[in-house]
């Protein structure tokens, strides 16, 4: 048989790959930086520890695609998620944290 768009979309959905090509680990990496480190900057070893994933795997397997697609950026201070990542995951990049005076 042949592979058409319907079959390809079905296969990607079965693998939990979204329309941007992100899988569950990509989502988990971005969400971890957002939730635990306020979007960054955060160091690679800290991300690695938080995810329980090897730093080399994050740097060589996951980061290049996330950077290329505009979801993550490297800065001299560490990794940061971008506005696109917040939008894609349906998050607010600037949540209001009530202070003592609100």
Q: Does CATH number 3.30.565.10 belong to domain 21-88?
A: no
Q: Contact, 40 vs 33, CB < 8 A?
A: yes
DSSP track, 41-72:
-B-HHHHHHHHT--HHHIIIIIHHHHHHTTSE
Tokens of 90: 């349906």
**pLDDT tens-digit map of 26-85:** 999 999 999 999 999 999 999 999 999 999 999 999 999 999 999 999 999 999 999 999
What pTM was computed for the model?
0.84
Distance CA(66)–CA(30), nearest Å, equals: 9
């Amino acid at each position: 048989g042949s592979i058409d768009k319907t079959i390809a979309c079905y296969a990607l959905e079965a693998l939990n790959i979204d329309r941007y090509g992100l899988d569950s680990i990509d989502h988990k990496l971005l969400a971890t930086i957002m939730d635990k480190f306020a979007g960054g900057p955060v160091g690679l070893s800290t991300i690695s520890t938080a995810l329980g994933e090897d730093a080399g795997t994050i740097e060589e397997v996951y980061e290049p695609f996330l950077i290329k697609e505009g979801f993550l950026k490297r800065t001299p201070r560490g990794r940061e998620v971008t506005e696109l990542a917040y939008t894609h995951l349906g998050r607010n990049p600037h949540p209001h944290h009530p202070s003592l005076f609100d």
